[in-house]
Amino acid sequence: MTEPVAVRFQDTDIAALSSAEGRIALILPPDGSLGPDARRLDRLTRGAVARAVGSKAWGRLKPGESLEIGWPAGLAAEALQLVPLKRRAPVPEARRAGGAIGRKLHEKGTVVVAGTHAGVADIVLGLRLRAYDFADHRTGSRDVPGPVAVMSARAAAAAEAARALDAVAQGVFFTRDLVNEPANVLTTREFARRLEGLAQLGIEVEVLDEKALGDLGMRTLLAVGQGSDSPSLVVVMRWQGGAAGEAPLALVGKGVCFDTGGISIKPAAGMEDMTMDMGGAGVVAGVMKALALRGAKANVVGLVGLVENMPDGRAQRPGDVVRSMKGDTVEVINTDAEGRLVLADVMWYAQERFAPRAMIDLATLTGAIVIALGHENAGVFSSDDALAGALLRAAAAEGEGAWRMPLGEGYDRLLKSRIADMKNVGGRPGGAVTAAQFLKRFVRDGLPWCHIDIAGVTALTEATALAPKGATGWGVMTLDRLVRDMLEG
């Protein structure tokens, strides 16, 4: 488990900065005005701070960017980083400012001078998220960031607020670690084993094996994994932090630990990225960990379907017909449209067993959503305006991009099968929509439901303000916020 960088909070002591090694980051208002702390630091650096904030370069900085003074006079630090941020900036901006600091932490330590800024906890969360480094499979020495000291005029209050967000950071890190793991390490068994470890936090964890899944009738899920030596599994995680007997929120995640496409095999180029096809299950796992760590006063059940989609003599074929747990039959036109087959059974099981108040599924489901929305937004499909609105508001508050997409009966005709109740694909037009429309058939009437297609936001080839290249952990912060707003508000 990759751990967030250690952070300690202390009262502001500008005099001590002269001997601080490593790096110093100073939070300043975008207009460049210098408060008492900044003026004292400016004197230590013989006017360097004032000259920097009076430059054209300072005026061109965007949120999440900073200006750096190397080997500043009067300081032992190797760099003084000046970070513009409004005193009462929105949460996403405060976190991006923290991210600007987090990507440049020094092995000898970093001091953040936050003064009276109101968003210290969010600055720290952004710093921690951006400092994430998945190094489990790299050998040799590497620079490990030293401890971070945050100087604040209200150090005790800032520390308390940051502790409340530490659970979120750990949830995001858990998701990122899972998504970044190679498929030969994160097999379905290993994934389930790591989720069983959440029991130490008070989460009830149950693993359903292939026999149990067969007895339940989860044949669309089992069909996806029948060509793999790794067993298909469903893991159920229950957090009972709310009132006894209160219906839970159900979170369902697609957990395809590796996706070759099956018999409808994918092109070789880029197939190595399919280790991230369990991203939906990774997000559900991260959310459950965050809820448990912060002792959420809510009932939430997380269910993940863990399979591997491989082509061998036992693999399902295009043209096969399989029967879901619900009882509907599906003609498999393309074995690379496997995630919806996994979700269909797990979603139905979640409703049968837990009678949830609402259900949200997450999946790296379609390339079509990437074409539609790129890598800035996840696609949100919903049968319920209130739930969709709450989800979109939570995503906006946390700075995670999400955009609502359409559903409609007109798309159903594209899923008609000649020999079964439906096909598993509807062709290229509206591919993300027909995938969601397929899933909607496994949602009971009247149940508030959202499907989130996270194919474009789960793992990126470029670093973002809050994450290095690779897994982003998108969705953990949004869903944690949704639980707070919807179930704990």
Pairing relationship of beta strands 249-259 and 329-331 according to DSSP bridges: unpaired
Write the CA distances from 461 to 6, 116, 402, 468, 471, integer angstroms: 27, 37, 19, 9, 9
| 70 contact partners, CB below 8 Å, separation of at least 6 | 78, 79
Instruction: Give how far the C-alpha of residue 206 lies from the chain's centroid of Cα atoms, to the nearest Å.
Output: 23
Token pair for 143 = 């620079």
Counting beta carbons within 10 angstroms of the beta carbon of residue 267, is it exposed (0 to 12), middle (13 to 18) or buried (19 or more)? Answer: exposed
User: Residue 424 is encoded by which pair of tokens?
Assistant: 């598993």
Alpha carbon distance 282, 272 (integer Å): 18
CA angle 467, 469, 470 (to 5 degrees): 95
Helix, strand, or coil here: 201? helix
Q: Which structure tokens are listed for 350?
A: 């979640």
Are 307 and 187 within 8 A, CB to CB? no
d(CA 371, CA 104): 33
Selecting among 340, 440, 441, 481, the annotated active-site residue is 340
Do residues 434 and 97 make contact, with C-beta atoms less than 8 angstroms apart? no
Q: 299 exposed, middle or buried (CB, 10 Å; 0-12, 13-18, 19+)?
A: buried
User: Which tokens belong to 128?
Assistant: 């921690």
Instruction: Name the one residue in this structure whose structure tokens are 């100087």.
Output: 151
Contact 86, 77 (CB under 8 A): no
Q: Are 339 and 258 in contact (CB under 8 A)?
A: no
Closest CA to 132 of 170, 90, 87: 170
- The residue count for the chain: 489
128 is catalytic: no
Contact 143, 26 (CB under 8 A): no
Position 194: which residue type?
R
Q: Both tokens of residue 6?
A: 């250690």
CB count, 10 Å around CB of 104?
17
Q: What is the dihedral of CA 149, 131, 398, 488, to 10 degrees?
A: -70
Known catalytic membership, residue 340: yes
Token reading at 404: 């609502």
Q: What positions carry a catalytic annotation?
A: 266, 340
